[in-house]
Amino acid sequence: MIIGALIVLAATATASVRSPRVDVGESVTVTVRVTARPNATVTLRPPPPNIPAYTIEAGTARMLQADPSGLVEFTFHVLPWENGEIRIAPATVDIAGQGQVQTNALTLEATNPLGPDAANAKAKDIRDIRPFPDEPAAWPFLLASIAAGAAAAFFYLRSRKTPEKPAEPVVVAAPRPERSLAEWIDAVRRIAESPPRDPEKMREAHFTIAEAVRRFVEERWEIPASKQTTEEFLEGVAASDRFRGGGMSILPVVLEACDRVKWADDVVAPQDTLEVAKLALDFFAASRGAMRGFGDRPPQDGAQGGGLR
C-alpha cells in the first residue's frame, strides 16, 4: 500500500501560459506538462468552457505516451471574451495505472483594445447622408456603342476569314493505380531501410507512414481511420475496451509524430524519420501477431483470439 501511494504521488500535472496579460478574443496557448510512469499512456481532459467569460479550443492530441523518463506535454487554447480578470478551471489528466491528477488553475488578465465597456456601447448614428447625384441618361451612349461595334465586326469579317482548325483530341491522363496494403507496408519498410535526407522527401515520408498505418487499421478492424482526424480516431480507440494490446500503445505516438511534420511543419532529421518508420513496422508486427495470421480477418464476436478483435 505504501509503495502504491508513492507511485500515485509521483504523478504531477502543471498548467502554464507564456503571459497572463492578453487581449479579448486573442487565442491563448495553455501548456500542460505531466510527469508519470515511463512510457505510460496519458490522456488530457481540458476544462469545460465558461461562456461568456471564455471558450476552449483543441490543441494537440488528447492521448499521448510518456517518454522513457515519464514526461509528456499537451497544449490546448483558451479564447477570453470578457474584459478583466478571468479564472481558468483546472484540467484533468488520466494516467494509465496511476489514476487522475489535476493541474493548477490559471488566471488571465484580458484587456479589450476598444475599451472595457466596448461590448455594451451603442452604435453611433450615421449623419449627413447625401443623395446620389442625378446621372445623365445612358441609352444614347449604349445605342451608339452597339452600332459602332457591329460595323467594326462586319468590316473585319469581310476583310479576313480565318480557316477553322480541326479540333485536337483530348488526352486524358491514366488513373493512378491504388496501392494495396502490402505495398503501403513495403513503402514504410523502404523508408526504414533508407530514410530520406531532403526536407520535402522527409515530409512525404511522414505522409506515407501515416497513410500506411491508417490503411492497416482500416482493413484489419474495419475502423474508418482514413475518414477521421487523428484526434477523433484516437479518442474512439481510447474510449473502447476492444482495443487493448496488439501494439496499440505505439499507434498514437506514430500518428502524432507524423501530424507534427505534416501539418505543423516541424523540422526533423533523417534519424527522426527512421525512428517513426521503425515504430510503424513494430505496430504492424505486434498487431499481426495478435491475429491468427497476416491476411486473416479478425475473429467474429464470441470467437477466441488475442489482441484486438
User: pLDDT for 161-183, tens place per residue?
Assistant: 555 666 665 544 444 457 888 89
Q: What is the pLDDT of residue 308?
A: 32
The residue whose grid cell reads 480477418 is: 297
Residues 146-152, mean pLDDT to the nearest whole number: 85
210-222 tens-digit pLDDT: 888 888 888 877 7
Strand, helix or coil at 285? helix
DSSP label of 120: G
| Cα atoms found within 13 Å of the Cα of residue 110, Cβ hemisphere only | 23
DSSP label of 60: S
SS (H, E, C) 202-263: HHHHHHHHHHHHHHHHHHHHCCCHHHCCHHHHHHHHHHCCCCCCCCCCCHHHHHHHHHHHHC
Separation between Cα atoms, residue 175 and residue 215, nearest integer Å:
20
Q: What residue ranges do the domains of the chain occupy?
A: 2-113, 181-290
Percentage of the residues of the chain whose pLDDT score is greater than 70 = 72
Q: Quote the distance between the C-alpha of residue 281 and its chain's center.
A: 23
Whether the pLDDT of residue 206 is over 90: the answer is no
Separation between Cα atoms, residue 234 and residue 198, nearest integer Å:
30
Q: Quote the distance between the C-alpha of residue 306 and its chain's center.
A: 31
Q: What is the pLDDT of residue 34?
A: 93
Separation between Cα atoms, residue 300 and residue 295, nearest integer Å:
15
Beta-ladder partners of 65 = 41
Residues 110-133, mean pLDDT to the nearest whole number: 66
Whether the pLDDT of residue 303 is over 60: the answer is no
Confidence of residue 85 (pLDDT cuts 50, 70, 90): very high
Q: What is the pLDDT of residue 269?
A: 86
Q: Do residues 291 and 307 lie in contact, with contact meaning Cβ atoms separated by under 8 Å?
A: yes
Whether the pLDDT of residue 2 is over 60: the answer is no
Whether the pLDDT of residue 157 is over 50: the answer is yes
224-268 tens-digit pLDDT: 766 777 777 777 666 666 655 566 778 788 888 888 887 777 778
Separation between Cα atoms, residue 128 and residue 91, nearest integer Å:
54
**Fold classification of 2-113 (topology level):** Immunoglobulin-like (2.60.40)
Whether the pLDDT of residue 86 is over 50: the answer is yes
Confidence of residue 3 (pLDDT cuts 50, 70, 90): very low
Whether the pLDDT of residue 298 is over 50: the answer is no
Whether the pLDDT of residue 60 is over 90: the answer is no
Strand, helix or coil at 129? coil
Q: Quote the distance between the C-alpha of residue 29 and its chain's center.
A: 16
Separation between Cα atoms, residue 113 and residue 21, nearest integer Å:
12
Residues 65-81, mean pLDDT to the nearest whole number: 91
Q: What is the pLDDT of residue 77?
A: 92
Residues 6 or more apart whose Cβ sits within 8 Å of residue 55: 49, 78, 79, 81
Q: Quote the distance between the C-alpha of residue 68 and its chain's center.
A: 25
Separation between Cα atoms, residue 230 and residue 193, nearest integer Å:
26
**Would the pTM of this model clear 0.75, i.e. be above it?**
no
Confidence of residue 8 (pLDDT cuts 50, 70, 90): very low
Beta-ladder partners of 5 = none
